Chain A
Amino acid sequence: MVSLLDRKLWRDLLSLRGQIITIAFVVAAGVAVFVASISTFNSLQSGRSRFYDSARFPQIFVSLKRAPLSIVSRLAAIPGVAVVEPRIVRDVIVDWPNSLLPVSARMVSLSNGGDETLARLHVRRGTAPGPNETHGAVVNEAFAETNGAVPGTDIRVILNGRVQNFAVTGTALSPEYVYAVKPGAPIPDDRFYAVLWIDRSAAEAAFDMKGAFNDLAISLAPGVDQGPVIAELDRLLEPYGSVGALERRDQPSNRFLEDELDQQKVTSIIIPVIFFGVAAFLLNVTLSRQVAAQREQIAALKALGFSNAPLVAHYLKLVAVVVILGSVLGVVGGVAFGRAMIASYQGFFRLPTLTFELTAWSIVAGVGLSFAAATLGVVTELRKVVVLAPAVAMRPAAPLRFRRSWLEILLSSRLLTPRRIMVLRNLLGRPIRASLTTIGIAFAIPMVVLGLFWHDAIDAMIEIQFNLVERGNATVTFPHPLDRRIIGDLGREPGVLAAEGQRIVPVRMRAGQRSYLTAVTGLPMDGELRRPHDSRLRPIEISQDGITLTRRLAERLGVAPGDVMTVEVMEGMRRKRDVPVSAIVDEVLGMGSYMEIGTLNRLTGEGDVVSGAALFIEPSALPALSQRFRDLPVIESVAIKTYTLASFLDKIAKMLLVSAGILTTFAVIIAIGVVYNSARIGLQERARDLATLRVLGFTRAEVAQILLGEFVIEIALALPLGMLLSQGLIHLITQFYSNESFQIPGVVTAGTYFAACIVVIAASVGSAYVVRRRVDRFDLVAVLKTRD
């Protein structure tokens, strides 16, 4: 048996259906983002954890020059160390047919046919080469898929100027290369970077490493503090050319994955908060109108003996319907959104299983949060229901007190026609509601801006990094430091217009208790092809005696210009020197540092050497020259700016499009939700006045102008406010999102703001139009007989 109040609820819901649906959509958007972000976070995390566990992902990584296998037992004896896996790892060039650029590859030795004690391979196709199988190689799946390598494909590796053939035996995934990026490259490019695993016997022969190793993977016993272990490893391995042990958090692939997980957490908090806030406000306005319109009904019900509890429950049910409807839509949307996000991650992160797993508690929490926000939004209105005495409620509500506002005094009386005065006084008569409406509409702007902002940010990143900082169009690296004269030779290659030497040295920087393993780039003082820039995009002259740090690195080390820190060279003579910090620069990629090349060479004590070069090549000569570089043994790798950019943009374009599309939809939902609901409520409240004007001879358009005039003002105020909010939000997000791999510039272009305003105006105009059509359907006869 449906109770009387439930029947009333059903009718109220029917008459409010437009508002219920639009608010439910706002709730749905919040729940969807919440459920999708939490579930995506958990899916990524569990996909990663499963892989790390099953593949026995190491906790510590060390690379060194060369050490005899006999010391492995000493390393394994360090207290806390569980397993030590010695390996041979080398970066080589692959002669890949028809490739535009030389393909770089990392070769990693296997001791047990891929089923290693640490960093075990997950073989996807074929097999890994077994012990003593010297001509087989298993290749990472990303490279294999991008370049069409299948079991049986020949891979020609250039080893010390000789070509050695390997046959692909299979494709595999490794926990160390979930996100495979070439060392020193800012972004991954699967076309030109491969990981090849070969049997230890083959690696020993190829790299002349019989009975030796140059890389270690180490796992620790549970609960062991890695600090002392790392210190001991560094001490023991220093004589063997160790560049210092890396903890898991600094392992490049793992770091990218961690950064992405952190971003998911940010998304799952910021965006739902906006939606739940807007939904709370809309419910407040709607319910406030409903309670006002039903004053007499509430009074009559109370007079009939209904107590407060069922009446409050009655209005709470209305809220519950909105939340439930929104939650159902939100969960469905969240699953779709989450699946799309996971699908877009699949190209980035190579995990054996990365599937969308719906996190059950996120549904409970999402629905709970939206219900809490909605209830909070309506609590003042429910209080009104409770305190409303039947006798009071039988009388009409006290009319809204109107008065002249300060604005009318400021504005010329010629501008203030009675119709405009109506608009102004309606707006200022309910200042809180007008402000919240304006703020609500304003919040739609950052949604669009957030969607489109990434384009701007990436354009800015590209502009800063690839046009301001790296002004050449190609860089090459050498397998080991070479005499500076090589730069002159490169400069004479056909098509090379300018060549400048660079020296990249692995170092450990120490400042007080903090330390960081990184590389210093040595640049010529009058260098033109690579010029670091400061935060205001002015070129920084490299100081002759200090070190220039990127902002993130300076923050991590806690140093400022003028401070002195210790730089420990991790190769060659392994000198340790105190160096003053001469400047801090903002760069968008990585955690780099710069020194004048001569000063750096004096620090290492190696003389006048270079380890790479920045080149400016005549564009038409690029293809031929990159072919030629493939055949020069002195060149280890080549990066051509346009190719790097194209691959990067191609990879993220789809991801950006999806996120822009979703966020723009959200913006439309907010704008429609706010404008439609406010206009409907405005119409309900002023129906009698507006119909009176129609009877007096005002046209539909004139009457609609009075109704919608308020929104013109509110939207006009919301647009600049929304832009300000966008800036704040972008600032917040760039702070949260920026990590050690990327520094996101908080740049929003005028075009993005323009697009955001257009979207919000269009959504607002659309919803206002729907309401405006109701003006056409006014019952003019009824108005003659109705008391206010």
Chain B
Amino acid sequence: MSATLCKKEFYVQKFDFQHAGKAASDVRKLLMDYGYEQQLVRRVAIAAYEAEMNMVIHGQGGTLALEIDFEYIQLVAEDNGPGIPNLQLAMQEGYSTAGDEIREIGFGAGMGLPNINRCVDFLGIQNKPQGGTIVTMQVSLGAEK
């Protein structure tokens, strides 16, 4: 049986590097308050952070939705960007479309999606027909990665 224990949505602004990371930090604190194990919290928080940064850098902002179920913790990042034209390339470590200005401040290394993939048990990426990307990430409760 599946039932939602918690649902929360965070708004992410494009190119707002001053507040970028806030949503992931809030997700981390919320999971810690719920008493989840440290390693599990770290995995979800890293996935949340990388998804948040993708929305800041590439996605023209968007929303990050957290849902806690009995079986898994789910994050859905839905952005307003141009979508990801080549998913295979985007999953490749080191591939990035970020410009020099973004790279200068330490982002755009092409490790965001691979980092997410390492942390989650399920990763789904969907380009919306009208533009924008939906990234769905799930971490199973009770399973170790």
A and B: real partners? Answer: no
